[in-house]
Amino acid sequence: MEATTGPVAEPPVSLALIVLDGLGDRPHPATDNRSPVESAATPNLDRMTSSGMIGEVVVVGPGVAPESDAGVFALLGYDPIHDSPGRGVLEALGVEIALAPEDVALRLNFATVDGDGTVLDSRVGRSLGTSEARDLARGITEADLLGPEGIRAEVRATVGHRGVLWLHPVEGGPLSPEVSNSDPFYERVGGMGQARRPEVPKVLEVTPMDASPEAARTARAINLFLSRARDVLAGHRVNARRALGGKKVASGLLVRNAGALPRTPPPSFEVKHGIRGAAVTEMPVERGIARVLGLEDRYVGPMGPDRDAGYRERARVTRELLGQSPFVYVHLKGPDEPGHDGNAPLKREIVEAIDRSFFGPFLEGLDLSRVRFAVTADHATPCILKGHSDDPVPLLLSGAGVPAREKAGPTKFGESAAAHGSLGTRTGADVLRLLFHPPTSAK
């Protein structure tokens, strides 16, 4: 992938890429047979649509339903297959795990799994608290499940049902990240993960992806670990309390996208694009991306119970960083989770909250002759599918140097306007090029 030419602007223009996680969607009966985005009241985004430019983005490529990390790498101008060290490494760096070169890290989910290995809920009903997950993680780590194999295995809980499996070889030779996933809902392609929809969601056997003895050893160790971890989980006090309370239990682990520290890391964002950057992040994986790419990380943490206050704080931090850095990448997790849960009304509510409490304060008093921004998504998460898809996602370009609208058309921000917009259909790699050098006219 060719390097993106950095921005040239006179007078200096601050740039922002605002990524709404899982924003793209499809018509849904619970939102008047419109998408949750198009049924949402979004006066601020609509105003920017009417005065700016809109189009749609195939984030990674046709037929690819990317995970968030792959989508973000593409939007930031990188090749997610070759440039990403893998989701496991990004998650580990996001929670400050000190990986050694011989270590392997995998993204982990606590899940509800039956005795036959069928995944009943890959997120434990999205009700597993972070403190509960940390208690479970301690129990598994303290059991030293791979000690007999000469490997220290640590589970590091992060947010809710999410975590990291960190494997460090103590004896017996090195490990390899070239292994497949146990998570049936995702598959690996190089350093990239993409979603899949299995007919029968069974926990998969982890297999080596090359012929090396290191990969064979790693795959065998992970399978042993997952089997032994189920015994620990079955007797854990957290699950006993959850069962008594009628809640789903964390009876298994799903792992995916193994990675190791790359011998040659990707070029930093500043080296690649010729511009210094910062990031506003909520989740460990986005923190990991910021660190790998050398973006100044401003971590705001997961959303709290007061959604509007959370988005106002994110808007405040974004405005502050725009005064300090020429480029800011902002990642807002909100729309993705109700997409996975199939909850179209809640996704609509969250989109409305983002418009009201993020874009409202963000735009208030903003000098659009000195700031240019793009709003898009890392992937679509249609509620009707309850998972990621390869659907195109909206791309809105607004602010300094963006030509005024020249023809009539939909002004409601959403998938329909994007499909008929003057920017046309673009790739993820085009987004920064458009942000750095907007078209000279709106067709």
* Gap between the Cα atoms of 95 and 88, Å rounded: 11
The pTM (predicted TM-score) of the whole model is: 0.93
Torsion sign over Cα 87, 90, 96, 97: positive
Helix (H, G, I), strand (E, B) or coil at 116: coil
Q: Where do the CATH 3.40.720.10 domains begin and end in the chain?
A: 14-84+266-436
| Length, in residues, of the chain | 443
Q: What is the mean pLDDT of residues 76-101?
A: 94
The predicted pLDDT at position 405 comes to 66
3-class secondary structure, 255 = strand
Name the band, by pLDDT with cuts 50, 70 and 90, for residue 2: very low
pLDDT score of 173: 84
Position 12 scores a pLDDT of 79
Confidence check: pLDDT of 31 > 50: yes
Token code pair at residue 261: 């520290």
Alpha carbons 377 and 383: distance in angstroms, whole number = 15
pLDDT at 161 over 50: yes
Model confidence pLDDT, tens digit, residues 397-443: 999 999 876 566 668 999 999 999 999 999 999 999 999 999 987 55
Distance of alpha carbon 76 from alpha carbon 376, whole angstroms: 12
pLDDT tens string 126-148: 999 999 999 999 999 999 999 99
CA proximity to 231, closest of 252, 203, 204, 205: 252
For 225-245, what is each residue's pLDDT tens digit? 999 999 999 999 999 999 999
- Name which of 397, 398, 418 is nearest 409 in CA terms: 418
Neighbours of 36 (CB within 10 A): 29
Bridge partners (DSSP) of residue 169 are: 151
Q: Which CATH superfamily includes the segment(s) 14-84+266-436?
A: Alkaline Phosphatase, subunit A (3.40.720.10)
Residue 230 main-chain phi, psi, to 5 deg: -60, -35
pLDDT (0 to 100) of residue 380: 97
Q: Residue 161 and residue 139: Cα distance in Å, rounded?
A: 15
| 379: its two tokens | 């992937």
Taking the C-alpha atoms of residue 79 and residue 118, their distance in angstroms, rounded to an integer, is: 34
Region of 20 please: left (phi>0), alpha (psi -120 to 50) or beta: beta
Q: At what angle do helices 130-142 and 237-244 cross, to 10 degrees?
A: 140
Q: What pLDDT is attached to residue 5?
A: 58
Q: At what angle do helices 284-292 and 68-75 cross, to 10 degrees?
A: 40
User: What is residue 355's predicted lDDT score, i.e. its pLDDT?
Assistant: 98
Average pLDDT over residues 266-294: 96
* Per-residue CA distances from 279 to 16, 19, 287, 328 (Å): 10, 11, 8, 5
- Which residue in 1, 69, 59 sits closest to 259, CA to CA? 69
Burial of 226 (0-12, 13-18, 19+ CB in 10 A): buried
Q: Please give the sequence-ordered ranges of beta strands (E in DSSP) within 260-339, or none if there are none.
A: 277-281, 296-299, 327-332
Residues 356-371: tens digit of each pLDDT? 999 999 999 999 999 9
Supply 313's token pair. 């704080």
Residue 11: CB atoms within 10 A of its CB come to 7
